[in-house]
Amino acid sequence: MSKIVSELEASIRSIPDYPKPGIVFRDITTLLGNARAFRRAVDELVQPYAGLKIDKIAGMEARGFILGGAVAHQLSAGFVPIRKKGKLPHTTVRIAYSLEYGVDEMEMHVDAVQPGEKVILVDDLIATGGTAVGAVQLLRQIGADVVSACFVIDLPDLGGRKKLEALGVEVRTLVEFSGH
């Protein structure tokens, strides 16, 4: 494990039995509150794409907004919020996606991405992949070229990364935690 990965891992708070018994919640608010860790995480997310022409960064509500905004700034790209249904004021495109315990919907403005634009999807964590897969499908629905999906945390035992890779999306993560 590299020094950077161990520093990032140490800055993430683990909360046992949240939101239910047997689940360990990985809380990045402690990473965000640590200036050095936050900067390191953003730098690591940006590094593979420095110098490439990336048009937009799409961030999923809500922690993806924080990370995605910082990544967009560093790459001189636009930022696209992907939100839960009913939160955006203009004409939207919407998709239903699977949650661990049901189905929800997310949406983005119909004109947020132009066909062919290169987009990187950013969020704090990839678990079962339902939300991320839905976001990739939503972006592709309006013609985006989804270059990559980037996350601070991967929970590989839950299989989300494999679902994205099966869609032909490159996945980059910084820290892995086994188990829930």
Catalytic residues: 63, 100
Is-cis flag, bond preceding 62, omega within 30?
Answer: yes
DSSP code of residue 4: H
Question: In Å, how far from its chain's centre is CA 41?
Answer: 13
3-state secondary structure labels for all residues of 126-145: ECCCHHHHHHHHHHHHCCCE
Give the residues across from 121 on adjacent strands: 58, 149
The bridge status of strand 56-60 relative to strand 24-27 is unpaired
